Structure 1
Amino acid sequence: MKFQTQYGEIEITVNAIRKLVYLAVLETYGPISIGSDNWFNRWFSSDEGKIRVEEDEYGHLKIDIFVEVEYGTKVTEVGKNIEENVVHKLKAFANCENAEVDVHIIGVR
């Protein structure tokens, strides 16, 4: 993702966006387990344990977040809160206005 400022061009990599999304999900109440970006999970986990970030040629982001939530929480509210928090953090920290965030609840613990 690139954008121009008065001082020059700024490029934010997909990996940096993924880490920002990861931190935004950690700040939200309700999720217990989410995919991380370390080498162990990259080699030994399934797609359900990850945060996927894809960028198209127009600079639009599609983000898929797979989480397990805490038992007793309202699942729809947790998903909505995760989505809102991620969108807010992307706008505030990465100047990203065009992100589609999908939260997938894969389990309850």
Structure 2
Amino acid sequence: MSISKSTQYGNINISIDAIASLAGGVVSECYGVVGMASQKFLKDGIAELLKKENYAKGVVVRKKEDALELDVYIVVSYGVKISEVVHEVQTRIKYVLEKSLELEFKKVNVYVQDIKVMK
């Protein structure tokens, strides 16, 4: 599935995986975020950290009638204020994606899957 956009120069198709990869790159740069997590827990209830090429597994993009919605699954570092990290992730993703893709994102939902102790 892709998102189509028309400009005066022609049509643009943006794949969902491209949006997910861009969002994953933005998330990985945020303070307090250890990495992206898979949407599904492993059998022991431990979140799997995703590598750079698998960021699309940690992001869900849904197209609604007038805007897009994004679900992001992350792992945060121990000792940080989770609400601040989540707020920063939401605002940075929304800003970067709207400026880069010129699409409107209605919601950016962030799900904290795990907390890791960094040594």
Task: Please tell me the TM-score bracket, short chain as reference.
Answer: 0.7 to 0.9
Aligned to 1:27, which of 18, 26, 29? Answer: 29
CA deviation map 1:53-108 (0-9, x unaligned): 1223x252221111111111110000000000100111111111233100011221
Size of the aligned set, in residue pairs, is 100
Amino acid at match of 1:10: I
For 2:15, the equivalent position in structure 1 comes to: 13
The aligned runs of 1:22-101 (5 Å cut-off) are 22-35=24-37, 46=40, 50-56=58-64, 58=65, 60-101=67-108
Normalised by the length of structure 2, the TM-score is 0.74
Amino acid at match of 2:18: A
User: Which structure would you say has the larger RCO, counting Cα contacts within 8 Å and 6 or more residues apart?
Assistant: 1
Amino acid at match of 1:75: I
CA distance in 2, matches of 1:59, 1:2: 13
Structure showing the higher strand proportion among its residues: 2
RMSD: 1.9
Local SS of the residue matching 1:12: strand
For residue 29 of structure 1, report the CA deviation from its aligned partner.
0.9
Q: Which runs of 5+ in 1 are unaligned?
A: 36-40
Q: Report % sequence identity.
A: 26
- Runs of 4+ residues deviating >6 angstroms: none
Q: Which runs of 5+ in 2 are unaligned?
A: 42-46, 49-57
CA deviation map 1:13-66 (0-9, x unaligned): 11111011101101111111213xxxxx7xxx726652111223x252221111
